[in-house]
Amino acid sequence: MQLTKALAWKIVGGLSSPSKMPCYGYSIPARYCVTGQKLREVVGSICSKCYALKGRYIFKNVQSALEKRFVSLNHPQWTEAMVFLINKLEKSGFFRWHDSGDIQSLEHLAKICEVARLTPNVKHWLPTREFSIVAKYINAGNVMPENLCIRLSALMFDGPSPDAIAKRFGLQVSGASKDAFTCPASKQGNKCGDCRSCWSKEVFSVSYKKH
């Protein structure tokens, strides 16, 4: 089926446009997070205060859009449609995965990696707490695209970032660390501004303010 912007948008449920970001993103419901569902019941965990389960994220129209994107993950043309939209619409050279939600499975991660490979002029940032899925993908012999920065996210507020596993697999992290780069968004209207550290593999660790 020949893709058009309208058809590709319909297939994937559209792209998200997080107000903080300088680029488009893609989000699904946070309630479907595999690890996040468990962490939400843990006092002191970052997921227990999940920003994607409050505020504008709970508006009916936003939830409807997130649900459509989640359902779309199984569409046979999902990867093709995502590549089409990113190549056509993303002029910033950057893309953010999952301002809400997380990796669902090995197949899901494989699709994201394929999208990155087929959009070589765009830098992708994928934060995740699905450490085991990422580990299984790499242990199976798969190589991460050069333009995809996967940041393994800390589990607890003020807790350590998962440095050991990240270094083992050549990935990046976010979380409390004495050597971490501190996200400047809280000092500039909760926006990235001209900072692109989250997308950079040169920046091993990024620390975010509670939000």
Q: What is the pLDDT of residue 60?
A: 87
**Which residue intervals of the chain are DSSP H helices?**
5-12, 34-39, 60-72, 78-89, 106-117, 131-139, 163-169
What whole-number distance in Å separates Cα of residue 193 and Cα of residue 4? Answer: 32
Give the 3-state secondary structure of residue 74: coil
Q: Which stretches in the chain have pLDDT values below 50? A: none
Find the angle CA(112)-CA(118)-CA(119) to the nearest 5 degrees: 90
Q: How confident is the model at residue 208, as a pLDDT?
A: 81
Kind and range of the H or E run holding 58: none
pTM of the model: 0.94
3-state SS class at 95: strand
Task: Please provide the size of the chain in residues.
Answer: 211
Report how far residue 118's alpha carbon sits from residue 80's, in angstroms, rounded to the nearest whole number: 9
- Per-residue model confidence (pLDDT) at position 177: 67
Predicted confidence at residue 53, as pLDDT, reads 83
Q: In what order do the strands lie in the sheet with 123-128?
A: 25-26, 94-97, 123-128, 148-153, 172-174, 205-207, 181-182
